[in-house]
A and B are shown apart, each in its own frame.
Chain A
Amino acid sequence: MTESEPRTSGEKEPPVNKYEGKLPPLNIFLHWCKGCNICIAFCPQKVLEPDRDGKPILAHPEKCTQCAICWLHCPDFAITSNYK
């Protein structure tokens, strides 16, 4: 699905392939992350789980649906997505 092909309004957005290519769905900057647990708690798919000091780990990357809740709510901008 190329980026530039215009989508007609009726067509439902195709499901983003979760973990097809090499890239993981999300990047987490551990030196910016303060382990506040917001992303872990609000991720609807429970993709993230806390490590020893509470910072998120991509425990189930295949479950990520790129809903963007995590990086929209990160107070320190420590998460970005590789697909969005």
Chain B
Amino acid sequence: MEKEAVVKEKEVQRSNVVHHYLRPKKKFPNVWCAGCGNGIVMGALIRAIDKLKLDKNDVVVVSGIGCSSRIPVYLDFNTLHTTHGRAIAFATGVKVVKPRLKVIVITGDGDAMAIGGNHFIHACRRNIDITVVLVNNKIYGMTGGQFSPTTTAGAFATTAPFGNYEKQFDIVKLASAAGASYVARGTVYHEQQLEKLIEGAIVKRGFSLVEVVSNCHTYYGRLNREGDAVAMISWMKDHAMPIQAAVKLPPEKMVGKFVTGLIHETDATEFCEEYDKLVERLKAKEAQK
């Protein structure tokens, strides 16, 4: 007897699904350099939101200042383009007032790890239900190629003309240690994996971070002779190692590679829920009086 396992028709996303989420009044093509990873991240974010069937009115996209922070203005959601480094703090305000809204923060390595570092670690500690998509191109792109807290050692930048002598943050370790519930890393090459990671991040209760390894060939690529967009993205293709495989490999095999996928996940109390419990508790006590 033939097994009648009927596969639910997998919602096939049309190739033009992205265009239904772009703001008609904005001028296209977008503002980034040709081949910039930010466009790919924007596409992945839109496809993830579309797969989750979120109501556009319930999605709030907050960003700070920087190349990646120009993503929200193109998106047909509630968008907040805030001050440099403070996107997560603005988003906290929005989330605490309206917990039902899906609050997504788009930020960059400079925006979140340098000037915004304080708000970043405290949002992790609070485990507030916000999704942060951190586009890590290891440089300050908008201001012309200065090194950032994630620029690799020895790399060149306009403010590290003789090579970067500083050490870098490991964003994933930092977020996991600070208390984030969902920490993942994706790249702009592995776009479909990125979609799934963002999807998981949005669904996850508590603070979720998706670090996206992206390319800035205009500055990082040129200053470090790493080639154009295609070359930098190909580099990601060859050096990314999904975590499922990475755990099995001996350390010497992992030299020069970076881990992608869902790296850290825990379950902890979420800020808004704890606050609502407090409100209920006080209301109950009041009722008893």
Q: How far is the CB of A14 from chain B (nearest CB, A)?
A: 14
Q: How many residues of A contact B (CB 8 A)?
A: 29
Which of B8-16, B95-103, B149-157 lies at the interface with chain A?
B8-16
A78 within 8 A of B: yes
**Chain B 9-50, CB within 8 Å of chain A: the 1/0 string?**
100101110110010000011101111111110110000000
The chain A residue sitting closest to B43, CB to CB, is: A77
Determine the chain B residues whose CB is within 8 A of the CB of A79 once the complex forms.
15
**Chain B CB within 8 A of A42 CB:** yes
Report, as a range, how many residues of chain B touch the other chain: 35 or more
A interface majority secondary structure: loop
Does A52 belong to the interface (CB within 8 Å)?
no
Cα A84 to Cα B191 with chains together (Å) = 17
Q: Any chain A CB within 8 A of the CB of B228? A: yes
Q: With a CB–CB cut-off of 8 A, which chain B residues contact A71?
A: 15
CA distance A37 to B217 in the complex (A): 13
Instruction: Select which of A8, A31, A34, A81 is within 8 A of B5 by beta carbon.
Output: A8
B28, B37, B38, B234 — most chain A CB neighbours (10 Å): B28
Closest to A75 in B: B39
Chain A residues in the interface with B (C-beta under 8 A): 4, 6-10, 31-38, 41-42, 68, 71-81, 84
What are the residues of chain A within 8 A of B36 when measuring CB–CB?
A: 36, 75
Ordered by A's residue number, 30 sampled pairs between the chains whose C-beta atoms are within 8 Å are: A6-B6, A8-B2, A8-B4, A8-B5, A32-B28, A33-B29, A34-B29, A36-B34, A36-B229, A36-B230, A37-B35, A37-B228, A37-B229, A37-B230, A42-B230, A42-B233, A72-B191, A73-B188, A74-B43, A75-B30, A75-B32, A75-B35, A75-B39, A75-B42, A75-B43, A76-B28, A77-B22, A77-B43, A80-B14, A81-B15
B284 at the interface (CB under 8 A from A): no
Given contacts A8-B4, A36-B35, A38-B35, contact A76 B230 (CB under 8 A): no
Contact B43 A72, beta carbon cutoff 8 Å: yes
Q: What is the minimal beta-carbon distance from A16 to any residue of chain B, in angstroms?
A: 11
A47 vs B70: C-alpha distance when bound (angstroms): 32
B residues apposed to A, CB below 8 Å: 2-7, 9, 12, 14-16, 18-19, 22, 28-30, 32-40, 42-43, 188-189, 191-192, 228-230, 233-234
Nearest 8 A-B pairs (CB), nearest first? A75-B39, A36-B35, A34-B34, A36-B34, A41-B230, A81-B15, A80-B15, A76-B29
Cα–Cα, bound, A42→B30 (Å): 22
Question: Nearest-CB distance from A51 to chain B (Å)?
Answer: 15
Bound CA span A78–B15, Å: 11
Interface centre among A33, A37, A68, A73 (most CB of B within 10 A): A73
CB distance from B135 to the nearest CB of A (A): 12
Q: Which B residues are in CB contact (< 8 Å) with A74? A: 39-40, 43
User: Shortest distance in angstroms between A30's beta carbon and chain B's nearest beta carbon?
Assistant: 11
Which residue of chain A has the shortest Cβ distance to B230 in the bound complex?
A41
A sample of 16 more A-B contacts (CB under 8 A), given A73-B40, A75-B42, is: A10-B5, A34-B35, A35-B34, A36-B34, A36-B35, A36-B36, A38-B229, A42-B230, A73-B188, A74-B43, A75-B36, A76-B39, A80-B14, A80-B15, A80-B16, A84-B15
